[in-house]
Chains A and B, each alone.
Chain A
Amino acid sequence: MPEYTLIALCSVLGVVVIELFWLRTGILRTAQFWLSMLIVWGFQIPVDGWLTKSEGTIVGYDPDQITGVRVGWNSPIEDFAFGFSMVTLTLLLWHRAVRPTPQEDTASTPRDA
Chain B
Amino acid sequence: MSHWHYLFVMAGCVAITLPLEFVLGARVWRRPRALLQALVPTVLVFVVWDLWGIYRGSWFYADEFITGLHLGPMPIEELVFFLVVPICGVLTYEAVGRCLTWLRGGPAPWSQAGSPATARSERAGRRRA
Contacts and interface: CB of A to CB of B under 8 A. Distances in A.
Interface of A: 3-4, 7, 11, 31-33, 35-36, 39-40, 43, 47, 50-51, 56-62, 65-66, 83, 86-87, 89-91, 93-94, 96-98, 105, 108-109, 111
B85 A36 contact: no
Given A39-B92, A51-B6, A94-B93, A7 B49 contact: yes
Contacts of B89: 36, 40, 86-87, 90-91
Contacts of B6: 51, 58
Main secondary structure of the interface of A (DSSP, over half): helix
Interface in B57-80: 57-62, 65-66
A83 B89 CA distance: 10
Contacts of B23: none
A11 B65 contact: no
A36 B92 contact: yes
Interface in B79-99: 82, 85-86, 88-90, 92-93, 96-97
Interface residues of B, number: 43
Contacts, number: 115
B21 to A, nearest CB: 14
Contact of B90 (A66, A94, A105): A94
Contact of A96 (B37, B52, B86, B126): B37
A48 B101 CA distance: 31
Contacts of B66: 58
Interface in B1-36: 5-6, 9, 13, 31, 33-35
Given A65-B56, A98-B34, A108 B127 contact: yes
B58 to A, nearest CB: 5
Contacts of A91: 38, 89-90, 93
Nearest to B119: A98
